[in-house]
C-alpha cells in the first residue's frame, strides 16, 4: 500500500510555506498526485481527489498576485518588462527550482510506480504542486493569505533561481519577430500522449502560415517554451536573427 501523509508531515509542510490550514483536506489534496488516487482506487476502492483542479486555480491566483507585486514594486517599469519578468517568475523552471529547494518532493503522495521512477524530482510535477498549494491556500484562507504564501514561496526566492532557469523563450521570440517585422508566432498544441498522470504535450509554432518548429514537454507551458527555443535557433540558422 502506498504511503500516507502523517500529521507531523503536514505540520512540517505548513511550516515551510508559512501557513496553517483550517481544513487540512485542502493541503492533502494539493499534495496528492493522480497516480496515488488511481492506485488507491484500484487497491482499496477509495476515492481521493488529486491536485489537478487546485493546480488550475492556483495558476490563475499566482499570475494575478505576481502581476500585482511587480506592478507595485516597480512603478517605472513598462508593460513589456513587467510581462517578461512575470513570465520568468511563474514558469515551470523557476517554480520547480523553488519547490526542489524547499524539498516539496518529500511530501507528495505518489503511487509506488511513480515514486520509483522519480516523480518527486520531476520538474513538471513540482511546478504543478506549487500551483496546487497556492490554490489550496486560496480555497482555505482567501486571497490575502494566498498572497502571503506567494510572497514567502515565490517572491522571496525567484531572484535566487539560476539565470539559465529564468530564460523566457516565448517573450524573446515575440520581441525578435516584432523587431524584424515578421508577425506573431502561432502556437498549436498538436499532440498529447501518455497516461493522465504522465502526459507529454507536443507544440508546433507557425509563422506566416509556415510551420517552423516542433517540440515536446511534460506540460503545455514547457512544450511552448521548448518550441520557442527551437524557433529562435531556426531564426539564427535562417540568418534572420543574430
CA distances in angstroms from 90 to 97, 141, 168, 214, 231, listed in the order given: 11, 22, 10, 23, 21
CA distances in angstroms from 60 to 90, 138, 202, listed in the order given: 10, 11, 23
C-alpha torsion 171→177→179→182, nearest 10: -160
Reported as type and span, the H/E element at residue 192 is strand 186-193
59 annotated active-site:
yes
CA distances in angstroms from 169 to 164, 166, 189, listed in the order given: 11, 9, 17
* Active-site pick, 39, 115, 131, 198: 131
Cα separation, 204 vs 211, in Å, equals: 7
* Active-site pick, 39, 59, 140, 198: 59
- CB 188, CB 206: distance < 8 Å: yes
Q: How many other β-carbons are positioned within 10 Å of the β-carbon of residue 67?
A: 15
Cα separation, 136 vs 127, in Å, equals: 14
CA distances in angstroms from 81 to 77, 87, 88, listed in the order given: 6, 10, 11
23 annotated active-site:
no
Q: How many CA atoms lie within 13 A of 33 on its CB side?
A: 33
Task: Starting at the earlier edge strand, list the strands of the sheet with 210-217.
Answer: 186-193, 200-207, 210-217
Q: Which residues are catalytic?
A: 59, 131
Amino acid at each position: 500500500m502506498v504511503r500516507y501523509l502523517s500529521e507531523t508531515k503536514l505540520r512540517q509542510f505548513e511550516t515551510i510555506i508559512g501557513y496553517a490550514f483550517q481544513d487540512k483536506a485542502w493541503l492533502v489534496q494539493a499534495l496528492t498526485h493522480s497516480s496515488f488516487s488511481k492506485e488507491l482506487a484500484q487497491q482499496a476502492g477509495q476515492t481521493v481527489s488529486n491536485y489537478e483542479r487546485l493546480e488550475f486555480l492556483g495558476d490563475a491566483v499566482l499570475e494575478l498576485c505576481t502581476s500585482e507585486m511587480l506592478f507595485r514594486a516597480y512603478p517605472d517599469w513598462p508593460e513589456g518588462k513587467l510581462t517578461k519578468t512575470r513570465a520568468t517568475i511563474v514558469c515551470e523552471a523557476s517554480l520547480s527550482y523553488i519547490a526542489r529547494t524547499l524539498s516539496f518532493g518529500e511530501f507528495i503522495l505518489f503511487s509506488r510506480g511513480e515514486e520509483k521512477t522519480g516523480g518527486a524530482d520531476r520538474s513538471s510535477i513540482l511546478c504543478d504542486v506549487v500551483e496546487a498549494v497556492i490554490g489550496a491556500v486560496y480555497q482555505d484562507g482567501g486571497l490575502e493569505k494566498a498572497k502571503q504564501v506567494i510572497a514567502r514561496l515565490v517572491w522571496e526566492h525567484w531572484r535566487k533561481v539560476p539565470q539559465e532557469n529564468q530564460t523566457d523563450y516565448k517573450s524573446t521570440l515575440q520581441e525578435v519577430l516584432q523587431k524584424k517585422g515578421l508577425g506573431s508566432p502561432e502556437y498549436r498544441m498538436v499532440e498529447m500522449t501518455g497516461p493522465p498522470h504522465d502526459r507529454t504535450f507536443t507544440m508546433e509554432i507557425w509563422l506566416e502560415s509556415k510551420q517552423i518548429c516542433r517540440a515536446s514537454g511534460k506540460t503545455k507551458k514547457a512544450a511552448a517554451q521548448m518550441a520557442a527555443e527551437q524557433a529562435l535557433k531556426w531564426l539564427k540558422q535562417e540568418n534572420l536573427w543574430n
